[in-house]
A = this chain, B = another copy of it.
Amino acid sequence: MFEIDPAFPATSQAVGDLALSHVRLQGDARFPWIVLIPRIAAARELEDLQAGERDVLIEEVLRAGAAVRAVAEALGRPASKLNVAQLGNVTPQLHVHVIARRPDDAAWPAPVWGFGVAEAYTPTALETALAAARTTLGL
């Protein structure tokens, strides 16, 4: 049975569910950042998905890209680059990061993982970000 690793709720907010993936907004106001978690029990790598599931996942990555662009826009910092990654060295449950980047962000041009300390969203900014993500994803 599929269950979300408790590491995700500890660091992110639920956005909703797409056909394959549970969608979360990472709780780090420095970067508009969505995490997709395919709802497939015991999956750790892309090779643990069926080919049809991978085709769905890559389209959900595209949709998450549009969503983080919308979050970035809503927060007044439009994105100029997307970063997409499936790592899982720390939390092995299969998940894909989709992050909006810009040359004046905290970590640019370095990747965001392990860079400094997450900054909490203000309640208003979090509401704005979640609304922009949900509207873009139709959730």
A114: chain B residues within 8 A (beta carbon): 110-111
Q: Which of B45, B59, B81, B108 contacts A65 (CB 8 A)?
A: B45
- Bound CA span A65–B49, Å: 13
Evaluate contact between A54 and B58: CB separation under 8 angstroms.
Answer: yes
Q: Which residue from B54, B58, B82, B85 sits with its C-beta under 8 Å from A45?
A: B82
Interface of A (DSSP majority class): mixed
In the complex, chain A residues 77-102 whose Cβ is within 8 Å of any chain B Cβ: 81-90, 92, 101
Chain B residues with CB under 8 Å of A108's CB are 89
Looking at the assembled complex, report how far the CB atom of A41 sits from the nearest CB atom of chain B, in whole angstroms.
19
How extensive is the interface on chain A, given as a class?
20 to 34
Residue numbers in B under 8 Å from A86 (CB-CB): 82-85
Q: State whether the Cβ of A2 lies closer than 8 Å to any Cβ in chain B.
A: no
Please name all residues of chain B whose beta carbon is closer than 8 Å to the beta carbon of A110 when the two chains form the complex.
Answer: 89, 113-114
Add 9 more A-B contacts to A45-B65, A46-B62, A83-B86 (CB < 8 A): A45-B81, A46-B65, A47-B62, A54-B55, A55-B55, A83-B87, A85-B86, A89-B108, A89-B110
Measured CB to CB, the residues of A under 8 A from B are 44-47, 51, 54-55, 57-59, 61-62, 65-66, 81-90, 92, 101, 108-111, 113-114
